[in-house]
Structure 1
Amino acid sequence: MTNMRRALPSMNSLFTFEAAARFGNFSKAAGDLNVTPAAVSRMVSRLEEHLDIALFTRSAGGVLLTESGRVLFDAISRGFSGIEDALREIEERRIGVHTVSLSLSTGFTTHWMMPRMAAFKIQFPAVDLRFQLIMGALAGPIDDVDLGMRFVQGSDDRHEATFVMPEILIPICSPDYKNSHGIGGMEQAADTTINLSDAEPNWSSLFSAANGEEMTNSMIFSDYAIVVQAALLGQGVALGWLNVVGHWLRAGTLVPAGEHLMQTNRRCHLSRLRDKPKRPIVTEVRDWIISELTEDAMAVDRLYPGLGLVPHNW
């Protein structure tokens, strides 16, 4: 700490630098800090003079970090995040309530988490959940949350990833749609697919290849929660990610549109940043989610053995 105090003109310079780097603009940083842009510029210049190195390149449109500036910004961001986590934990201990933040798809949150919220509150009465929601395919950083659900191969230098299940996709529809359209043997073929706009593979092609039926119509949405909702309402056949639709398959509200599934080489994980303090409550929530998802898969396997899920072999 003594060396750091000597290397910096003041702690305010770190706060000012962090805001300027985060916004890429002195005026926006000034608004965040409730000071003038000139004050931000002076503080950054003072820090650069003290370190004898440029931290930004200036332009009319804003500022960009130099290589040295990026090194400092990354370190400060990790440090500030750790301080915020510590302050949050202190406050949680004081009031007896824990906050756990999750980065999830809107589909998973709507169709898996929400039906389980009562059970979650029984299991974790002192936990408040906060959600960072992703409308389309799961992607993006998990810097600002405790846990993020992502399809990745495993842990890396920055993330600790806990395996949930393989990526498994099953064509799904409502029981009424399956019966009325004769999927699996009656005379009238399924005619509509419900698609996610940025999904791979092509859902219509997968269903047609699996069932020998050509789909003549399609509905396309950018939000997977709506895709599943449309299937629940009997609007057509959708491709269901098992980790999202397992609850509805288990309940019988959705059914497989034929005995076919596709397992990709991607694997669903719940990931956390290694730099974040490892809070026991986050581990407990993670393990509860994985346990519930595993129970869903086991139940679906018992209901539809022809799918060949075999979750005990994952």
Structure 2
Amino acid sequence: MALRLPSLQALHVFEAAARHLSLTRAALELNVTPVAVSRMVARLEDALGFKLFARTKTGLALTDEGAKLQVAVASGFGLVSDTINELRSRQEESETVTLSIASGFASQWLLPRHQRFQTAFPSVNLRLQVMASRLYGPLDGADLGIRLHKAGSANDPFCFCPELIVPVCSPGYLAEYGPLDAPRQAVGHTLIHLEPTTHAWADYFDVTGIVTRASAKHVSYSDPGLALQAAMLGHGVMLGWLLAVAAPLNSGTVVPASQRIVETGCNYVLECRTREPSQSTQQVAQWLIDEMRAELAKAEPILASVERVQSRPPT
């Protein structure tokens, strides 16, 4: 059952009048006329059914009922004020860190870590700028962003992940169609294409020397996250960048579809928008790097037996 309370405005006027024991001083505080205060108090008394003030020779005095209501109202308003101040203080103390990343990395690596991130950074609000295209270009207002750097960036202190291109598919798909290295003659593979991309299937077959079959089917996606999801669902084989597929490889939702992967020598680097990022931004950057290093270390045994073919990335 809903509580039937007087209006907050009436209680606010009463609290001021009770605190000052003067309609005039209450009116000055509230920036209204004494007549308006008097009328509001009278309406409140009519609604409640009892008097809140008594007039004496020296001025206003609270009745017993008025004194009790004053304590309750003052306590309630005080609690509301304290709570608002606390919430404002928390808001001022919190900081938003904007991260520019690829959709596949966001969905498969970062989002599953959301709770761990919140535990590590309870006062940081994480905002994502998700890119469906290749990880090039400026950060466009983001505090941090993962971007592809040329060969020689492995020694960068913010080096995040090497550019390794790994054909991946679901375990069920591999069991049914076999690896790319020795495809079954009866049924061709389905190749999942990503457009645009730094390495297409034609580049992969040219570098690795694997011969494609004419019976191969083709499906194209413009979003890397959707392409990866299709591979996880068994729809075909996708050229997966280790940045996005390390976590699915470790969880077993995808497996290598070939014994040959492409190593470009380039690296994904976690860039900072400014030379002097905030302390929260620096801490978030280090947390991301540490988490990815642990992910890559876990994936090493899975990729230990595959052949790494060196290649220069297309321009």
2:163 to 162, 167, 179: 167
The separation in 1 between residues aligned to 2:98 and 2:151, in whole angstroms, is 21
The residue aligned with 1:306 is 305
Q: Which has the larger radius of gyration?
A: 2
Q: Which runs of 5+ in 2 are unaligned?
A: 1-87, 309-315
Quote the offset at 1:273 in angstroms.
2.5
The residue aligned with 1:283 is 282
Q: Which runs of 5+ in 1 are unaligned?
A: 1-90, 310-314
* 1:128 equivalenced with 2:125 (yes/no): yes
Q: 2:151, 2:266 within 8 Å by CA — same for their partners in 1?
A: no
The separation in 1 between residues aligned to 2:228 and 2:254, in whole angstroms, is 9
Q: Which amino acid aligns with 1:99?
A: T
Q: How does 1:71-82 map to 2 (within 5 A)?
A: none
Could you list the per-position Cα deviations for residues 12-38 of structure 1 after superposition, in whole angstroms to 9, with x for gaps in the alignment? xxxxxxxxxxxxxxxxxxxxxxxxxxx
Q: 2:133, 2:196 within 8 Å by CA — same for their partners in 1?
A: yes
Q: How does 1:130-279 map to 2 (within 5 A)?
A: 130-153=127-150, 162-183=158-179, 187=184, 190-207=188-205, 209=208, 211-214=210-213, 216-274=216-274, 277-279=276-278
The residue aligned with 2:75 is none
- Residues 133 and 92 (structure 1), Cα distance of their counterparts in 2 relative to 1, 3 Å cut: farther
Aligned residues: CA RMSD: 2.7
The separation in 1 between residues aligned to 2:151 and 2:122, in whole angstroms, is 31
Quote the offset at 1:242 in angstroms.
0.4
Q: How does 1:2-13 map to 2 (within 5 A)?
A: none
Quote the offset at 1:161 in angstroms.
7.4
The separation in 2 between residues aligned to 1:105 and 1:171, in whole angstroms, is 18
- Residues 190 and 111 (structure 1), Cα distance of their counterparts in 2 relative to 1, 3 Å cut: farther
The residue aligned with 2:293 is 294
Structure 1 ranges of 4+ moved more than 6 A: none
* 1:101 equivalenced with 2:105 (yes/no): no
Q: 1:135, 1:224 within 8 Å by CA — same for their partners in 2?
A: yes
The separation in 2 between residues aligned to 1:134 and 1:211, in whole angstroms, is 31
- Residues 109 and 259 (structure 1), Cα distance of their counterparts in 2 relative to 1, 3 Å cut: same
TM-score (norm 1): 0.62
Q: 1:174, 1:253 within 8 Å by CA — same for their partners in 2?
A: yes
Quote the offset at 1:288 in angstroms.
1.3
- Structure 1 residue matching 2:148: 3-state secondary structure: strand
The separation in 1 between residues aligned to 2:223 and 2:263, in whole angstroms, is 22
- Structure 2 residue matching 1:164: 3-state secondary structure: strand
The separation in 2 between residues aligned to 1:108 and 1:190, in whole angstroms, is 29
Q: Which amino acid aligns with 1:138?
A: L
Q: 2:105, 2:225 within 8 Å by CA — same for their partners in 1?
A: yes
Identity of aligned residues (%): 30
